Amino acid sequence: MSDGAVNVDETIKRLQAQKDVVGVLIMDSKGRVIRSTLDEAMTTQTATLMHQLCDKSMSVVKEMDPTNDLTFLRLRTKKHEIMVAPDRDFLMAVMTQLNPSK
């Protein structure tokens, strides 16, 4: 495995070990999954939806100011927080649980 791939996996392991992290997902800019800690069904759904949402967010930012760029997206819901870091070639999404069962 290349150094790059090792770094990615180490990063994912470190993220996954954080308290309340329920999933880590890495996609390419076309929404194809590269790594995921979620089960298959959740991976497919989350990848599709996060890719769509990121595309929409990026186009909103560009429409407001063509010289601007989306650098981070954070969705807070009643149960989770989903953080999405878009890059030119990749997109990483991390989902944390908000009220872990006490």
Which residues contact a copy of itself (rule: CB under 8 A)? 45-46, 49-50, 52-53, 56-57, 60-61, 63-65, 68-80
User: Least separation, in Å, of the C-beta of 72 and a copy of itself?
Assistant: 4
Based on CB atoms, which residue is closest to a copy of itself, 63 or 89?
63
- Residues 37-60 as b or e (16 or more Cβ within 10 Å = b): bbeeeebeebbeebbeebeebeee
Based on CB atoms, which residue is closest to a copy of itself, 5 or 98?
98
Based on CB atoms, which residue is closest to a copy of itself, 37 or 46?
46
- Report how far apart, in Å, the C-alpha atoms of 33 and of each of 30, 69, 79, 91 are: 9, 23, 24, 9
For the record, the structure tokens of 82 come out as 């989903």
User: Least separation, in Å, of the C-beta of 70 and a copy of itself?
Assistant: 6
